[in-house]
Structure 1
């Protein structure tokens, strides 16, 4: 496995990396970003088949609470990924184009399974006609509707099957209450640079009882981020960002038949539209992202509590429709024009589980579950049926059905030692998969928890990757690094012989919690086989368009390895005078050691070392301030020859120079029902982008980082 791969030496300089923070005194990959002093007792549901205390969970898990979202988000960001990347082991996708997404442990965003209340929210990533950029589907839920977000790092295929190979992000929404309540937030973001687009946001939620056991909760949001202006003629390589307008609305109706039985139905719908940028002369800059994306979700669920245990059953459907313009049309091997098109995707899923606690020599908590899923994709304007096609375009459809069953048993070996054993079997279009895991949790004492285990994961190809009728276009970023490639864009043809990716994963760590102190350490190592990638076909004889062709393939192997953690220090935990209630220093760290394939090419653009630190000052019961620093180190594999050759000189993102972004924020509770947030992002207006002409980036970073931005929001609740 290690032969032929670049070996990165682990050198750590705490003064260099910690910035303004305290030196690295402890690392932990298992932490809660929570307001509670005893964060280990926060309840979580994503890491296993049962609800349990945070510190007992058989996985590396973090929790972002509603209180933390209120303080850190407000309108500090309109993207949840900006908040989640402050968690150890989590990063936001970095690209020279419009890419976004949540990356876990140095793996691409498509390896992160996104859930809302345990249900897959589907992915719009396959619904692109001419671009490969990954779009994050996490921002459809208004912040006011979120109770907490659970982030599980590391493969969870044993419970969730494919797509959870990197980990899981589960958004837990607020449940219906016994009395009516609601909130409305209005916010704005104002960049200091007049070339940058401003943002306006409206979000809200309301819910309560209807009588006779019925409760209703509704939410909605409207967000518009204006596009930037550019002096380079393109919004790429750090020169700016496209605009975006998104609105969504949802409702959930539940009925408590009895105290032990509940049924519910729900829907979430929304639309996202791209807003083109413009040059300083007023000329429009064409969209590289989506033109218009429409989403629909419908769900029905049952939960029951019986004498023998509990039962859950859910059925739901996700629909996406992407409108795209200027789609290339090929005829006789040549590019002859463009067409407008709409691509449709649909997921139908039925899943459920039964939980059975019992004693057989030892205490057991067994969960048995299953899932049926059918995915469909309809592309009415694919660029051709295959790389040799003479036909212009046609309706290309694909579908894939999978079935999976799993069993997990949490065994109480001792009062303070729990062993979790699990195994899952999946029958997919691409072959059968069996994924086991074994995880130990040892409560050494009231303050120290030791964790570790082994798990396997898998990720099936997407319909687009594995259906020969689908061809997509790259503007050049996907073509670099091949000896016979001479420039320009290229086409990528799918492959019907692809195999699922598989992985073997180890992690070991510790968690310490005492009177508000949180610290620990976790090391992880993941090794992959059949990694999905592209391989060159070359220029096809007779292709008058002059495009270069690639094909989807499986590589032999890849590997990620690293350390992730936190150190939270309650500097002052009791009131000290009129204007000092609490003072807390929070630190999260991630050190990536490896994230590369067997050729030495990086899996993602990721720093060797990142840290996020926040000094939180509770002035009074109603007033809070925070000063933060987010450090990004130089890119992993920066001096790796194979990786740099694969990237070319301009096409893909790179971090040549480390940098730190500082922020200042405050929250004031005007009254019980009114809250005001304000702050400054990128306080010192740091610009890490190369000062050279757009696209060169031979000595600096080449991706977009917003300049100094002021923000404010006001929330009214009842």
Structure 2
């Protein structure tokens, strides 16, 4: 019984083909008319293989061939043109981008690799470094495809799968030896923007035929520093969207053992390292090269430097991950059992114990801390997953599963190691009433050792009304547990360049979301296809930092800092909108594809509207015109549009007088339209070339405008706003990008 290959009549669903090409935005032009690219099978939406149009979710697939036409340094950039996905509404300290789905912040997006959770329970990238985690991805040459689900999937995957799920599917070990080497380089026209270089290597094949196989993979990415994006006469201080010098390395291997046709076993090991240069204090003020804790002068302004002060940063930072995983697939007479055990250790290096005098000591709960010493930041997550898929009952495909998740957090500022355990069971059933109508019902129960149990149900219906039209929709519940740091009863971190002691709140509850969506997918089978999806997300018990105050409403953690604020469950939030795609074959060789996303949001606090949930623009669109010039050469032109977005998420009347003056004069973050021009050339069966000119018209996004306040003149960027975080971002000017792939 081949449960994972339930037959579907692909010829009845030609819209699969259009949606796949369309959802990719800038997908490779050589693939636009390739029928092998159209009959797409996905696994993330239900836990077993099924046709993408019949999946009980809104899903987009990006293949390895599509990725080869893109220039990206991390997972966020790889998803930049997927409908419903926003990666440009904020910029981390490292210059990295976040993944926001349907207007929800990045912490509501769950990242998987081959179905295994990559999000960690403890925050080891505090103070604005969370975007560095998106660089932890396999080399491009090791990726088979990326599946992007828009909407909650907590029923199958648990916490964090509120906004959506991104599942990176890696290549299987081939029965014959083969592989690829890929080189790429990006050269900006303006030397103020740093050059980039990347190499990917992949090889796989049998060690013992039909028994033992091996796959090895490696990648290296180097980026030169970009000059600071500054207003005229401004100091190099505070956050800046310009990325600094960095190096990213990934190396891994997978060993597979197939003792029989019924059993597969595998062992996978992966090491990812990222290094960032902080010699210019771009990431944080360096110990001994600043005024002291709390900011002030830094290594660019030496006049007031205190060589004894430790704000908490070294002249470099590293973010590293080590993952070891083993798994087993058993094909029984009644179904398929998939199990895996993974252990992931994630660490930050380059942070120190902050304080006013390097070398001085202080004692907390009998433990001594030395100012200026290395601050350990490490979390270890051990996860056991098991899943059984069966079609033992006629017209039903049933999934039963369980998960055990144990997490530990070590922080050099804390007096003890903190841990948590979650156990979950889930069940889901696809009931095919007829060949054209199927319903999916499921539920998951999670038990958390801090706040007890939580149940997440979902219901979804897929109806193939005709050969041309598919209707589907459903309601999903999602939830997000507070991370380990947020639940600590006492000190849980430091902010403000070492000046502010932060505390946790052990009484936090998980956030809960309800998502409703309905989709129509159409293909006239004569060269035109399209889809429209309407969605709404509603989040309750939203966790918001700084909403509790020790001076007016003390909790147990306040004993660590009686003047601190802390996070509470106070807000309700909603996002809603539409995703529209269209594709038309103009001729046999010309194709036009486009997608459009409309997103809006609101936050409700104490029963009143309190601004927006985030600064995702209301309108986003991508359009790609492709020309298959010959069997070997293909060219494409892509346009990307983003409407203006919120500079501040709060209500105008609640802003400071200076920020009101800024909005009145400069306005919100500016809209823009960018064009990219690219091509792909297949030299022969082994060698492919891809070339792209990004920001073809060389749009300058580093400009500033002035505004007046209290008789003084201030500068503000039109495309980003920098305070404790960076809203928006700045894309490089015209850049020439070339890659070559050799397959062997």
Query: What TM-score comes out, normalization by structure 2 length?
Result: 0.81
Note the 1:260-299 alignment, pairs <5 A. 260-276=262-278, 278=280, 291-299=317-325
Q: Note the C-alpha offset of 1:136.
A: 3.4
Question: What SS does the corresponding residue of 1:68 show, helix, strand or coil?
Answer: helix
Residue matched to 2:294? none
Residue of structure 2 aligned with 1:451, choices 454, 472, 483: 472
Aligned counterparts of 2:90 and 2:224: Cα–Cα separation in 1: 20
Q: Give secondary structure in 1 for the equivalent of 2:389.
A: strand
Q: 1:322 to 1:217 in 2, by over 3 A?
A: same
Task: Please say if residues 278 and 315 of structure 2, whose CA atoms lie closer than 8 Å, have aligned partners that are also in contact.
Answer: no
Partners in 2 of 1:358 and 1:271 — Cα distance?
Answer: 45
1:235-262 per-residue CA deviation (whole Å, 9 max, x = no partner) reads 7665622222110101011111212211
- Give the distance between the partners of 1:236 and 1:202, measured in 2 at CA: 33
C-alpha distance in structure 1 between counterparts of 2:656 and 2:487, whole Å? 23
Residue 437 of structure 2 aligns with which residue?
417
Q: 1:51: which partner in 2?
A: 49
Q: Distance in 2 between matches of 1:548 and 1:693?
A: 36
Counterpart-to-counterpart distance in 1, 2:23 and 2:481: 31
Q: Is the 8 A contact 1:191 1:709 kept in 2?
A: yes
Q: Deviations over 1:547-601 (max 9, x none)?
A: 973311112411111111211222222xxxxxxxx22112111100225444423
The 5 Å alignment of 1:247-646 reads 247-276=249-278, 278=280, 291-329=317-355, 338-359=372-393, 363-380=395-412, 382=413, 394-428=414-448, 429-475=450-496, 490-513=500-523, 514=525, 517-536=528-547, 549-573=564-588, 582-598=589-605, 599-635=609-645, 641=651, 645=655
Q: Is the 8 A contact 2:409 2:418 kept in 1?
A: yes
Unaligned runs of 5+ in 2: 1-17, 283-297, 302-310, 357-361, 553-557, 708-713, 722-728
Q: How many angstroms apart in 1 are the aligned matches of 2:444 and 2:511? A: 16
Q: Are the equivalent residues in 2 in contact too, given 1:440–1:453 (CA < 8 A)?
A: yes
Kept after mapping to 2: 8 A contact 1:561/1:595: no
Distance 1:492 1:368, change over 3 A: same
User: Could you tell me how far 1:41 is from its partner in structure 2?
Assistant: 3.4
Q: CA-to-partner distance for each residue in 1:186-245, whole Å, 9 max, x for gaps?
A: 111112222221111111100011114111111000111112222544376656222221
1:602, distance to aligned residue in structure 2 (A): 2.5
Matching residue of 2:12: none
CA contact (8 A) 1:345 1:378 kept: yes
**The residue matched to 1:269 in structure 2 has which SS?**
strand
Give me the TM-score of the superposition, normalised by structure 1: 0.83
1:438 Cα deviation after fit: 0.5
Give the root-mean-square deviation of aligned CA atoms: 3.4
Label 1:186 to 1:349 Cα distance change in 2 as closer, same or farther (>3 A). Answer: same
Which residue of 2 is the match for residue 86 of structure 1?
Answer: 81
Q: 1:151 to 1:715 in 2, by over 3 A?
A: same
Per the alignment, residue 221 of structure 1 pairs with 219
Alpha-carbon contact 2:403-2:423 (below 8 Å) kept: yes
Alignment partners' CA distance in 2, 1:288 and 1:631:
39
Relative distance call for 1:698 and 1:675 in structure 2 (3 A) is closer
1:11 is aligned to none
With 632-641 and 289-298 compared, the bigger mean Cα shift is at: 632-641
CA 400–31 in structure 1, closer or farther in 2 if over 3 Å, else same:
farther
Conserved 8 A contact 2:603-2:612: yes
Aligned counterpart in structure 2 of residue 203 of structure 1, from 200, 205, 208: 200
**Distance of 1:657 and 1:410 partners within structure 2:** 45
Question: Which residue in 1 is equivalent to 2:133?
Answer: 136
**Residue aligning to 1:193:** 190
What SS is found at the alignment partner of 2:433? strand
Alignment equivalent of 2:123, drawn from 121, 126, 137: 126
User: In 2, distance between residues paired with 1:38 and 1:505?
Assistant: 33
1:186·1:714 contact (CA, 8 Å) conserved in 2?
A: yes
Alpha-carbon distance, 1:641 to partner: 2.1
- 1:283 and 1:586, CA in 2 relative to 1: closer, same or farther beyond 3 A? farther
Is the contact between residue 229 and residue 277 of structure 1 (CA under 8 Å) also seen in structure 2? no
- The offset of 1:353, in angstroms, is 1.0
Aligned partners of 2:614 and 2:649 also within 8 Å: no
- Determine the C-alpha separation between the residues in 2 that align with 1:338 and 1:605: 37
Matched, 1:714 2:733: no
User: In the alignment, does 2:144 pair up with 1:147?
Assistant: yes
Corresponding position of 1:680:
693
Q: How far 1:181 moved relative to its partner?
A: 0.8
Counterparts of 2:21 and 2:637, CA distance in 1: 23
5+ unaligned residues in a row in structure 1: which ranges? 1-26, 383-393, 477-487, 574-581
Instruction: Check whether the contact 1:124–1:137 (CA below 8 A) recurs between aligned residues.
Output: no
The counterpart of 2:676, out of the listed 656, 659, 663, is 663
Q: Distance in 1 between matches of 2:591 and 2:446?
A: 46
Q: CA 1:147/1:332 → structure 2, altered by over 3 Å: closer, same or farther?
A: closer
Structure 1 residues 300 and 711: alpha-carbon distance in aligned structure 2, compared to 1, 3 A threshold: same
**Is residue 371–residue 404 contact of structure 1 (8 Å, CA) maintained in 2?**
yes
What's the secondary structure of 1:50's corresponding residue? coil
1-structure distance, mates of 2:646, 2:372: 39
**More displaced stretch, 495-504 vs 600-609:** 600-609
Equivalent-residue separation in structure 1 for 2:68 and 2:243 (angstroms): 26
Q: Deviations over 1:273-298 (max 9, x none)?
A: 11237599x96699899811221111
User: Does the residue aligned with 1:41 lie in a helix, a strand or coil?
Assistant: coil
Matches within 5 A, 1:151-190: 151-190=148-187
Distance 1:365 1:434 in 2: 22
What secondary structure is seen at the aligned counterpart in 2 of 1:144? helix
Counterpart in the other structure of 1:479: none
CA distance in 1, matches of 2:617, 2:468: 32
**Secondary structure class of the residue paired with 1:273:** strand
Q: Do the aligned partners of 1:176 and 1:217 also contact (CA within 8 Å) in 2?
A: yes
Task: Return the alpha-carbon distance in structure 1 between the equivalents of residues 212 and 101 of structure 2.
Answer: 39
